[in-house]
């Protein structure tokens, strides 16, 4: 069984929004369709917004510069939630790929899914307050992008040329 299929099955069994999104029939091929109101994508927007708020609060308070921050419960909770968001973004990518719709969003969600993991690692590896500030800023932008790509109105694009 491929890793993608195994991940799809595991997530579909654990999140009812994933199963509901996977069950939707694909729209007409020539019609741009917004997924922003579908429960899975509403969930992604909500989780991204909440995590961005956490990151922005840490940036403002410089909490990430405190001794033991990365071994504390607040960061552990954030990391768990961010990793779960990454998995959900990948699931959304796979669902859009299966539907054969929205090539750009499909590929962007895959990229965001992969980038979340890299941004977590960059944050944990940041050795100075300046490096942590940059890592937090990049995480905040990524989480904001996750919201904006879903909530932006779809554009009609017959050939995006992206292979997501």
Look up residue 66 and give its two tokens. 């405190």
Cα separation, 48 vs 139, in Å, equals 10
Q: Output the pTM of the full model.
A: 0.76
Domain assignment present for residue 88? The answer is: yes
Domain assignment present for residue 23? The answer is: no
Q: pLDDT value at position 158?
A: 47
**Number of structural domains in the chain:** 1
3-state secondary structure 131-143: HHHHHHHHHHHHH
Question: Contact 44/150 with Cβ under 8 angstroms?
Answer: yes
Domain assignment present for residue 26? The answer is: no
Give the domain CATH number at 89: 1.20.120
Domain assignment present for residue 41? The answer is: yes
Domain assignment present for residue 158? The answer is: no
From start to end of the chain, where are the E strands? none
Domain residue limits at 44: 3-18+37-151
pLDDT per 10-residue tile (average), the chain, 164 residues: 53 60 58 82 98 98 97 98 98 92 85 98 97 98 97 64 47
Q: pLDDT by residue (tens digit) across 104-121?
A: 899 999 999 999 999 999
């Amino acid at each position: 069984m491929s890793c993608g299929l195994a991940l799809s099955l595991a997530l579909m069994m654990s999140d009812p929004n994933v199963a509901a999104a996977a069950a939707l029939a694909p729209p007409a091929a020539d019609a741009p369709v917004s997924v922003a109101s579908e429960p899975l994508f509403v969930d992604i927007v909500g989780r991204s917004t909440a995590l961005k708020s956490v990151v922005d609060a840490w940036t403002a308070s410089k909490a990430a510069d405190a001794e033991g921050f990365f071994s504390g419960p607040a960061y552990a909770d954030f990391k768990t939630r961010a990793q779960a968001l990454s998995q959900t973004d990948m699931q959304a990518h796979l669902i859009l790929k299966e539907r054969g719709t929205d090539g750009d969003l499909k590929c962007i969600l895959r990229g965001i899914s992969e980038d979340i993991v890299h941004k977590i690692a960059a944050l944990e590896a940041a050795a100075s307050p300046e490096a942590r500030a940059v890592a937090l800023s990049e995480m905040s932008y990524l989480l904001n992008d996750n919201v904006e790509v879903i909530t932006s109105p779809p554009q009609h694009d017959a050939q995006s040329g992206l292979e997501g």
